[in-house]
């Protein structure tokens, strides 16, 4: 059965193949249309035979895996690399702009009481090599104080100064000439019509010429010996042929090092000072040498500070004498960089020179005694610090024992009482001083100072012409860099003078103690800067128009005004 069916299938396939072949040939070869029908008669059963499956199932075979050992070999080869560097442009930082400088400055003005004023400065511009300058000044007034003699005065000054800067040192020098003229106007000419005092006898003229030179180190590194050497000279002469020469030599040495572990560091120093005085007047003359040697040690331990030294002084003329004074100071920093308290003791020996006394009182006699002030000791306590940024203070209280302290009393050897003689006394002085300062950048500057004095005299009844207190308040204000205002208030407490009054019927003079009242003086200065070169100024003095006295029978000028211009070029 199977064979017959297979033969039928093969026959059908062959017949179909032949039909297809012949049909293709007919399409390609015959050009005439021909149709033919073939009918095949037979039985056909489309049956799909059974599939034979493979009866196999997958199996997982467990095998042991062995990891290979990897070896890495690094070849020591350096790869050559290259790159180009481009410069980095630094950040631009704008520094503080320096104010322009001018080589010359002139200031001129005029005021009431026939008061001309002229001042001139000349100097080089900024330099890191040297500095050099000239200063000239004239200031005078006709005076004219009612009921008093001629009170005209003048002040003339000329000086040359300079500095030379070296790597580690600075050399500086100065030459000066100063002439001051005044009149001893402390009497009423109306009271002496029958016996007038010639003007030439009231005139006084002080002429001083001097020079100084200083050579000092300015090391930045520690461990080097800082040092300085100074030489100063002046010659002073008045209208009555009283003269004084002074040669002063001073040197300083100090070095900071550490030779003990007790404190952080130590500073060892030495000060040597020598003065030669030559004084001469119409009656006497004197030569004197004063030598001062002061070694000291300064150290700091955390917030504590210590200073210890000895001040050894020698007084040499025809005979010699020696003086020794302790120099001790101890301090503690209560608040770091804000509050420091200290106590100490000091002393010293100095000459009451003609130059010193005439600067204190220009109306003294030309013949004065030669005296030396001995500060036996001064014990003090001090507290200073900073209340806030720009606001500082310093308060000191001291007690001193002083021998030969100079005082001024009206000279009673003439009937005019218009000059002062110098007398000395031993005193114990209690002195309190307080200073407060405030500064806000450059726009506001204020300074307040007050001193209180309590004198205990050995021989004299009062500390003649010494006030109980003095007060100074000064301020400076800057507005928009074009308006500058200066103000000053000065106050003195009461003091006393000493006057001898001789009577014809009694050889013993009567002694009077006139009271010099306390006083307050207020001064004001205003400057308007028109441009960087030109300014206009006006100074108002004694605005209260008070006729007060600092020296007995010597009232000051009342209200005065001085105005003018200043120019820089």
Higher pLDDT, 13 or 317: 317
Report how far apart, in Å, the C-alpha atoms of 497 and of each of 186, 191, 249 are: 13, 21, 38
Residue 165 pLDDT exceeds 60: yes
Q: Where are the alpha helices (DSSP H) in 422-530?
A: none
Residue 484 pLDDT exceeds 60: yes
Q: What is the dihedral of CA 492, 496, 497, 500, to 10 degrees?
A: 170
| Alpha-carbon gap, residue 370 to 361, rounded angstroms | 16
Confidence of residue 43 (pLDDT cuts 50, 70, 90): low
pLDDT tens for 179-223 read 999 999 999 999 998 888 998 899 999 999 999 999 999 998 877
Count of Cβ atoms closer than 10 Å to residue 354 Cβ: 25
Number of domains in the chain: 2
pLDDT tens for 452-472 read 999 999 999 999 999 999 999
Of 126, 101, 98, the closest CA to residue 569 belongs to 101
DSSP 192: G
| Alpha-carbon gap, residue 396 to 385, rounded angstroms | 12
| Alpha-carbon gap, residue 226 to 168, rounded angstroms | 10
Work out the average pLDDT over 385-402. Answer: 95
| The pairing of beta strand 469-479 with beta strand 320-335 | unpaired
Contact residues for 289 (Cβ-Cβ < 8 A; gap 6+): 274, 275, 276, 277, 314, 315, 316, 317
Report how far apart, in Å, the C-alpha atoms of 174 and of each of 126, 217, 559 are: 19, 18, 36
Residue 246 pLDDT exceeds 70: yes
Full domain range(s) for residue 389: 371-569
216 inside domain: no
Q: 341 forms bridges with which residues in the sheet?
A: 332, 383
Q: Where are the alpha helices (DSSP H) in 49-208?
A: 199-202
Please give the pLDDT value at position 476. Answer: 96
Work out the average pLDDT over 537-541. Answer: 97
Residue 140 pLDDT exceeds 70: yes
Of 310, 309, 312, the closest CA to residue 266 belongs to 309
Cβ atoms of 245 and 235 closer than 8 Å: yes
Please give the pLDDT value at position 195. Answer: 87
542 inside domain: yes
Please give the pLDDT value at position 221. Answer: 81
Please give the pLDDT value at position 2. Answer: 44
pLDDT tens for 259-273 read 767 777 789 999 999
Q: 405 forms bridges with which residues in the sheet?
A: 425
Helices (H) and strands (E) in the chain, counts: 3, 28
Confidence of residue 143 (pLDDT cuts 50, 70, 90): confident
Please give the pLDDT value at position 24. Answer: 45
Report how far apart, in Å, the C-alpha atoms of 471 and of each of 330, 400, 436, 489 are: 29, 21, 12, 8
Of 138, 133, 132, 177, the closest CA to residue 158 belongs to 177
Please give the pLDDT value at position 61. Answer: 64
Cβ atoms of 236 and 224 closer than 8 Å: no
Work out the average pLDDT over 466-491. Answer: 96
Please give the pLDDT value at position 59. Answer: 66
| Alpha-carbon gap, residue 105 to 135, rounded angstroms | 10
Residue 25 pLDDT exceeds 80: no
Confidence of residue 435 (pLDDT cuts 50, 70, 90): very high
Please give the pLDDT value at position 510. Answer: 87
Work out the average pLDDT over 9-19. Answer: 56
384 inside domain: yes
Residue 9 pLDDT exceeds 70: no
Confidence of residue 20 (pLDDT cuts 50, 70, 90): low
Please give the pLDDT value at position 23. Answer: 47
Please give the pLDDT value at position 167. Answer: 92
Distance, CA of 329 to chain centre: 24
| Alpha-carbon gap, residue 375 to 406, rounded angstroms | 12
Report DSSP letters for 41-90, one per residue.
Answer: -------PPPPPPP-----PPP----PPPP-------PPP------PPPP
Report DSSP letters for 247-282, one per residue.
Answer: EEEEEEEEEEE---SSSSEEEEEEEEEEEEEEEE-S
452 inside domain: yes
Work out the average pLDDT over 364-384. Answer: 96
| Six-digit token string for 60 | 């997982």
Residue 34 pLDDT exceeds 60: no
| Range from 5-14, 283-292, 355-364, 495-504 carrying the lowest mean pLDDT | 5-14
Residue 438's CATH number = 2.40.170.20
Percentage of the residues of the chain whose pLDDT score is greater than 90: 70
Work out the average pLDDT over 283-296. Answer: 95
Higher pLDDT, 5 or 234: 234
Please give the pLDDT value at position 32. Answer: 47
539 inside domain: yes
236 inside domain: no
Among residues 28, 44, 60, the one where a domain terminates is: 44
Please give the pLDDT value at position 509. Answer: 80
Cβ atoms of 172 and 213 closer than 8 Å: yes
444 inside domain: yes
| Range from 66-80, 233-247, 443-457 carrying the lowest mean pLDDT | 66-80
| Six-digit token string for 519 | 């006083």
In our burial notation (b when 16+ CB lie closer than 10 A, e otherwise), range 415-431 reads: ebbbbbbbbbbbbebeb
In three-state secondary structure terms, 224 is coil
pLDDT tens for 61-115 read 666 667 777 776 766 666 666 667 778 777 777 667 777 889 999 999 999 999 9
Q: Considering the chain, what is the average pLDDT of its residues?
A: 88
Higher pLDDT, 394 or 34: 394
Work out the average pLDDT over 130-143. Answer: 96
DSSP 197: P
Count of Cβ atoms closer than 10 Å to residue 110 Cβ: 13
Please give the pLDDT value at position 320. Answer: 86
DSSP 19: H
| Range from 170-174, 261-265, 280-284, 472-476 carrying the lowest mean pLDDT | 261-265
pLDDT tens for 295-335 read 999 998 889 999 999 999 999 988 889 999 999 999 999 99
9 inside domain: yes
């Amino acid at each position: 059965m199977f064979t017959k069916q297979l033969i039928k299938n093969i026959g059908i396939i062959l017949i179909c193949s032949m039909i297809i072949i012949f049909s293709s040939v007919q399409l390609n070869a015959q050009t005439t249309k021909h149709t033919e029908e073939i009918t095949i008669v037979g039985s056909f059963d489309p049956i799909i035979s059974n599939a034979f499956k493979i009866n196999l199932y997958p199996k997982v075979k467990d095998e042991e895996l062995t990891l290979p050992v990897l070896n890495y070999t690094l070849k020591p080869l350096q790869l050559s690399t290259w790159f180009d560097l481009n410069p980095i442009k630094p950040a631009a930082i704008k520094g503080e702009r320096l104010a322009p400088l001018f080589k010359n400055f002139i200031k001129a003005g005029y005021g009431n009481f026939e008061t001309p004023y002229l001042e001139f400065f000349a100097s080089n511009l900024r330099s890191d090599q040297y500095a050099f300058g000239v200063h000239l000044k004239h200031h005078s007034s006709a005076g004219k104080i009612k009921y008093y003699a001629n009170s005209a005065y003048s002040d003339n000054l000329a000086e040359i100064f300079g500095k030379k800067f070296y790597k580690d040192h600075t050399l500086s020098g100065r030459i000066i000439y100063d002439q001051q003229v005044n009149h001893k106007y402390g009497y009423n000419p109306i009271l002496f019509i029958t016996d007038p005092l010639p003007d030439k006898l009231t005139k006084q003229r002080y002429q001083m010429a001097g020079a100084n030179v200083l050579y000092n180190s300015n090391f930045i590194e520690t461990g080097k010996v800082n040092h300085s050497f100074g030489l100063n000279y002046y010659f002073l002469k008045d209208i009555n042929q009283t003269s004084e020469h002074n040669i002063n030599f001073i040197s300083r040495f100090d070095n900071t090092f550490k030779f003990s572990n007790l404190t952080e560091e130590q500073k060892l120093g030495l000060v040597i000072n020598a003065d030669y005085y030559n004084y001469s007047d119409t009656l006497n003359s004197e030569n004197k040498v004063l030598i001062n040697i002061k070694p000291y040690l300064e150290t700091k331990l955390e917030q504590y500070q210590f200073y210890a030294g000895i001040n050894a002084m020698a007084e040499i003329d025809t005979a010699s004498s020696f003086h020794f004074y302790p120099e001790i100071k101890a301090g503690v920093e209560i608040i770091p960089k804000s509050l420091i308290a200290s106590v100490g003791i000091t002393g010293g020996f100095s000459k009451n020179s003609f130059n010193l006394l005439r600067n204190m009182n220009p109306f003294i006699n030309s013949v004065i005694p030669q005296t030396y002030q001995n500060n036996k000791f001064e014990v003090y306590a001090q507290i200073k610090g900073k209340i806030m940024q720009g606001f500082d203070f310093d308060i000191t209280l001291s007690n001193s024992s002083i021998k030969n302290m100079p005082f001024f009393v009206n000279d009673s050897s003439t009937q005019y009482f218009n000059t002062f003689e110098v007398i000395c006394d031993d005193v114990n002085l209690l002195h309190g001083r307080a200073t407060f300062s405030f500064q806000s950048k450059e726009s506001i500057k204020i300074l307040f100072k007050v001193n209180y004095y309590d004198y205990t005299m050995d021989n004299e009844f009062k500390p003649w012409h010494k006030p109980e207190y003095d007060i100074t308040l000064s301020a400076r204000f800057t507005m928009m860099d074009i308006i500058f205002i200066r103000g000053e208030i000065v106050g003195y407490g009461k003091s006393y003078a000493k006057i001898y009054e001789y009577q014809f019927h009694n050889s013993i003079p009567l002694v009077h103690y006139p009271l010099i009242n306390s006083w307050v003086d207020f001064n004001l200065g205003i400057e308007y800067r028109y441009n960087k070169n030109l300014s206009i100024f006006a100074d108002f003095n004694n605005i209260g128009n008070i006729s007060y006295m600092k020296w007995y029978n010597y009232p000051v000028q009342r209200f005065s005004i001085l105005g003018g211009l200043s120019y820089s070029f």
